[in-house]
Structure 1
């Protein structure tokens, strides 16, 4: 079922934020698909972060594309200097929350739109968080931290209060893993 890439041309590039590519492809039955537009992004990371006191760290920030302030989980873009997704996640957690975490568990990766975008979002559960510094935010970031109970996060998920779909996926997997860890399974 895989397509054969015949040609590829970059239309627009502002790395790492947006790269648009035009491909010409051939399907297994010989159909030529031209143009096929692809958005290239670096991989992203996000995590459900739980402090050593058992509080989940949520972040509240404005999202300009939809014009709303949202409650989300910590996360961000993988930098070229990040050695792997866990390293990137630990860096993002420290920058956005000021916390370091005893354990970080990988929950797999998801794609926000595999038909048009190249990147994955690597999901994590981070536990045992201790505050070691103040936030170190980018100049365009304003992030308010919210500490809440796991049960409140579950309620918010059930009430559809998380808008960011990649965060919803992570929260779903993280709550399952957190329950397993809590019950010793």
Structure 2
């Protein structure tokens, strides 16, 4: 049974990136929670880029969340009204200079089961080839590695993919994409 939102109040609003709401929700008849928080974040798209040689282009960069340099795949926020597959292709081109003749979806998942916290659209691309110089923006300094699928799995086990979305994308590909 879906919970019923009785009332809500925005307690923090920093468009377009963040909104925090305090909700009063009825979880079942007669049981009300007065301070259930929801976090609205912009959705993102992520793409695992398989090169023509069968390797995957991985980005090594500093991420402030884990406060260290990590491995990851091209990803970024969806622009207002932008379709997830278009965002994935845009991020792939901006961050790596690659285009892909084939882009396949791996699914859409919410970040947090209770608070929401936005969601991710996961893709993999095959036959990627360089068509431009990467232009990741002024806040991002990237290094690039070409890794085999086995090397990516080893890097995840070693903790080099420190953001769950990137490790989850690889898990989705191993379950859904490679078969």
TM-based fold match above 0.5: yes
Counterpart position of 2:134: 135
Answer whether contact 1:40 1:117 (CA < 8 A) is retained. yes
Counterpart position of 2:47: 47
Counterpart position of 2:20: 20
Rounded Cα–Cα distance in structure 2 between residues aligned with 1:43 and 1:98: 22
Q: Give unpaired runs (5+ residues) of structure 2.
A: none
SS in 1 for 2:16: coil
Counterpart position of 1:165: 164
The question of 1:108 aligning with 2:98 is answered: no
Answer whether contact 2:40 2:118 (CA < 8 A) is retained. yes
Deviation at 1:46, TM superposition (A): 1.0
Deviation at 1:29, TM superposition (A): 2.6
SS in 1 for 2:171: helix
TM-score of the superposed pair, with normalisation by structure 2: 0.92
Deviation at 1:177, TM superposition (A): 4.1
Counterpart position of 2:98: 99
Counterpart position of 1:79: 79
SS in 2 for 1:7: strand
What is the RMSD computed on CA atoms of the aligned residues? 1.5
Counterpart position of 2:89: 90
- 1:42-78 CA distances to partner (integer Å, 9 max, x unpaired)? 1111121111121201111111132111111111111
Counterpart position of 2:34: 34
What is the count of residue pairs matched by the alignment? 179
Counterpart position of 1:117: 116
SS in 2 for 1:120: strand
Answer whether contact 2:52 2:126 (CA < 8 A) is retained. yes
**Going by fraction, where is strand more abundant, 1 or 2?**
2
Counterpart position of 2:6: 6
TM-score of the superposed pair, with normalisation by structure 1: 0.90
Rounded Cα–Cα distance in structure 1 between residues aligned with 2:137 and 2:113: 28
Answer whether contact 2:45 2:88 (CA < 8 A) is retained. yes
Answer whether contact 1:44 1:78 (CA < 8 A) is retained. yes
Rounded Cα–Cα distance in structure 2 between residues aligned with 1:142 and 1:171: 23
